[in-house]
Amino acid sequence: MVNQTVPVSFEKWQGEVPDAIRASPVWKSIAYQKALYLYDLVWEDCEMLTKDVRGRATADQLIHSAGSISANMEEGYGRGLGRDYARILRIALGEARETQGWYFRGRRLMPAEVVRHRMALANEVIALLVTMIDQLRGEK
């Protein structure tokens, strides 16, 4: 993926993920997979943003929030499932919403189709996280 408006498909991307990541139990979560995929796309998008001085702060915030989605899921999973995991997933959910907001704020520096795709992908991650959190709440 090098600065392209049409990203490598999620399915193709999955095949490129190293076995060390795919062997992790957290990989079983489609939300985690989509969050990692989103981060890889954000990485590429930051190249567009950093070409303009106005986009540099947006790129910094975007890479941080997008990276925090999957990082929080990894941390939470590492602590074990249960109430603490649900709490950490809520943090990941907030980061996903923040990522979506940064795409909106940076929309003038990226092609509209890129922004639409990334916001839709963030929406998928948000919906998956909400479902996971609701399921964990039901296990009380």
CATH top-level class for 10-138? mainly alpha
Give me the pLDDT at residue 139, please: 64
Domains of the chain by residue range: 10-138
Could you tell me if 35 and 125 are in contact, meaning their C-beta atoms sit under 8 angstroms apart?
A: yes
Q: How confident is the model over 66-96, as pLDDT tens digits?
A: 999 999 999 988 777 777 889 999 999 999 9
Give me the pLDDT at residue 78, please: 79
Q: How confident is the model over 38-61, as pLDDT tens digits?
A: 999 999 999 999 999 999 999 999
Which DSSP letter does residue 106 get?
T
Q: How confident is the model over 13-42, as pLDDT tens digits?
A: 999 999 999 999 999 999 999 999 999 999
pTM, 2 dp: 0.90
